[in-house]
Amino acid sequence: MTTAVAPGSALTASDRCDRCGAQAYLRVELQSGGELLFCAHHAREHGDKLREVAASVTDETHKLEATPAGESNG
């Protein structure tokens, strides 16, 4: 079950994919009023269809990009 959150709020490590339970990196707020959360894998797999039914999409898959050794994000 997905917990409702404020629209556009950041996803956290406790947000889980509705398909497989992995950490969610994509939130889709549906035109019908519900929301779905997806891991990066399932976001890519279902992305085109999800965008067709979405009122808004929060995509945080960029967080998965690796930082080269020796560099910091600060």
Indicate if the pLDDT at residue 1 is higher than 50: no
Indicate if the pLDDT at residue 42 is higher than 50: yes
**Count of structural domains, the chain:** 1
pLDDT, greater one: 34 or 3: 34
Please check whether residue 32 lies inside any domain of the structure: yes
Over range 46-51, report the average pLDDT. Answer: 89
Q: How confident is the model at residue 39 (pLDDT cuts 50, 70, 90)?
A: very high
Please check whether residue 40 lies inside any domain of the structure: yes
In the prediction, which pLDDT does 66 show? 67
Please check whether residue 73 lies inside any domain of the structure: no
Which letter does DSSP use for residue 39 in this model? Answer: -
Domain range for 33 is 26-62
Please check whether residue 70 lies inside any domain of the structure: no
In the prediction, which pLDDT does 3 show? 42
Report the chain's mean pLDDT, rounded to a whole number. 85
Please check whether residue 36 lies inside any domain of the structure: yes
| Bridge partner list, 57 | 28
Q: Beta-carbon neighbour count of residue 18 at 10 Å?
A: 16
CA 23/CA 58 separation, integer angstroms: 14
